[in-house]
Structure formats: structure tokens, C-alpha cells
């Protein structure tokens, strides 16, 4: 076996070992409550619609300034929802708090200055000039507990794109092509009650989210 081959095998093993180590760190952090991770959680006010840009700018700035050991995480809180569009389920990700970004970091003069002066950042949320970290209850309310985070991943929220009082058209079943007015929306059961005109009388009909479309 040549020396080059031995070196390549050693390098490949080092890469694999690093992957295993990184995965172990991720698994360990996933089992820890978000509040108990290193650093404290702070809220940034970002220019509307620029949350992703702020996240990218901060991560790039931190890397360039070698502050990775002080600024650990930058998060845009989101919820995965299932919208019903034209009778079809569509999984989308929506910002939970538009205009805000969360940063987990050790606060000192350097990190405060660099984060505060990142493009598209309006400032830290808090009273006075000194940013106030989130309490454990606030972190749970925004990010959820570990169990709640897993539930959110497994069970996206339904968010139909129609409202009570809106006129829709039935697409399936015995009332297909009938128009009706939405009387009630049941998010838990993913059903709607639609008032359909049958023989001159408005009759409530229970249908699934995918059984109707907007007119």
C-alpha cells in the first residue's frame, strides 16, 4: 500500500469521525431544553420582510469575525401549516412572528455592537439600551418545549384559505358543482359546514377541506 493511499484513508476516517462527532453534538443539543443551551435568547427587530436576510447577514458576520463561540444560533420562528388551495393540501412554512429574529448568544460589548449594526437589523427588543434576554417561559412560548417541537414537526397545522361567510363550490360527492356559503370551519377535524341550496332550501352539509374550492 502506497503512502498516498494510507494518507487518503486516514483523511477519510478523520472526515467520518468528525461527522459522527457533529451528529452526536446535534443529538445532545436536541435533547436539551432550548432555554438550557449555552448563551441567552434575545429578540431582534428586523426590517419587515428581511428576516432571512438578517439571519444570513448575522451568520456571515459572526463567521468573518470569528465569534462562533459567542453567537450560537440565529432563528426565524416558523410554523409549518397545511393550506388548502384549490382543493389540494399544500405544506408551507410561515413566520410565527413576522419582523422578528431570535439570537442565542453570550451578550458583551462586542456581540451587542456587531449584531446591532448588522444590515437590516433595527435593534434589540427590550427596555432601555441594554437588551433583556427572554425568560424560560417566553422561550417555551416562542420555541416550545422539546416535546412540542417534535409534535409541530410531525403534525403541521391546517390553515384553509377560505373563511366563514365565503361562497365556495363543492367538488366531490352528491353535491358536486353546487355552490354554497361556509357556515362553520372545524380546524381540529379538517371539516367545514357549507349551506347548500337544495330544492329552494339552505341545507347544512359537512364536507372536508379538500371537497370545496373558492369560486
Q: Do domains 32-156 and 162-214 have the same CATH topology?
A: no
Q: What pLDDT is attached to residue 187?
A: 78
91-129 pLDDT, tens digit each:
777 788 888 999 999 999 999 999 999 999 999 987 567
Residue 87 and residue 212 in contact, taking contact as beta carbons nearer than 8 Å: yes
Q: How does residue 25 score in pLDDT terms, banded at 50, 70 and 90? A: very low
Instruction: Note whether 181 and 165 are within 8 A (CB).
Output: yes
What pLDDT band is residue 186 in, cutting at 50, 70 and 90? confident
More confident residue, 126 or 135: 135
Domain boundaries, the chain: 32-156, 162-214
| Lowest pLDDT segment from 18-27, 75-84, 113-122, 203-212 | 18-27
**Dihedral, CA atoms, 171, 172, 173, 179, nearest 10 degrees?**
-10
* Rounded-to-integer distance, Cα 149 and Cα 100, Å: 19
Does 200 have pLDDT greater than 70? yes
DSSP SS3 for 198: strand
Average pLDDT of span 121-140: 84
- The whole-number pLDDT of residue 125 equals 86
* pLDDT over 70 at 87, yes or no: no
* Cα–Cα distance, 108 to 78 (Å, whole number): 28
Q: Looking at per-residue confidence, does 203 or 150 come out higher?
A: 203
The percent of the chain in helix, strand and coil, each rounded to the nearest 5, is 35, 35, 30
The dotted CATH code for 32-156 is: 3.30.70.940
pLDDT of residue 151 exceeding 50, the answer is no
Question: Which residues, other chains included, contact 14 with Cβ-Cβ below 8 Å and sequence gap of 6+?
Answer: none
Which architecture, in CATH terms, is 162-214? Roll (2.30)
Percent of the chain residues topping a pLDDT of 70: 73
Model pLDDT, residue 140: 81
Q: What angle do CA 67, 71, 76 make, to 5 degrees?
A: 135
- Label the pairing between strands 88-95 and 78-85: antiparallel
Confidence of residue 172 (pLDDT cuts 50, 70, 90): confident
Amino acid at each position: 500500500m502506497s503512502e498516498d493511499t494510507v494518507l487518503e484513508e486516514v483523511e477519510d476516517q478523520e472526515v467520518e469521525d468528525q461527522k459522527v462527532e457533529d451528529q452526536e453534538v446535534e443529538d445532545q443539543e436536541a435533547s436539551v431544553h432550548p432555554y438550557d443551551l449555552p448563551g441567552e435568547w434575545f429578540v431582534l427587530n428586523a426590517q419587515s420582510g428581511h428576516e432571512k436576510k438578517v439571519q444570513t447577514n448575522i451568520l456571515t458576520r459572526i463567521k468573518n469575525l470569528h465569534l462562533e463561540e459567542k453567537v450560537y444560533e440565529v432563528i426565524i420562528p416558523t410554523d409549518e401549516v397545511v393550506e388548502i388551495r384549490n382543493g389540494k393540501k399544500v405544506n408551507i412554512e410561515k413566520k410565527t412572528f413576522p419582523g422578528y429574529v431570535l439570537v442565542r448568544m453570550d451578550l458583551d460589548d462586542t456581540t451587542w455592537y456587531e449584531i446591532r449594526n448588522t444590515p437590516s437589523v433595527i435593534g434589540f427588543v427590550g427596555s432601555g439600551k441594554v437588551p433583556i434576554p427572554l425568560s424560560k417561559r417566553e422561550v417555551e412560548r416562542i420555541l416550545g418545549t422539546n416535546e412540542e417541537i417534535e409534535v409541530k414537526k410531525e403534525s403541521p397545522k391546517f390553515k384553509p384559505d377560505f373563511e366563514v361567510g365565503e361562497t365556495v363550490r363543492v367538488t366531490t360527492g352528491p353535491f358536486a358543482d353546487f355552490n354554497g356559503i361556509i357556515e362553520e370551519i372545524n380546524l381540529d377535524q379538517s371539516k367545514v359546514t357549507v349551506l347548500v341550496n337544495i330544492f329552494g332550501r339552505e341545507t347544512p352539509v359537512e364536507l372536508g377541506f379538500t371537497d370545496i374550492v373558492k369560486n
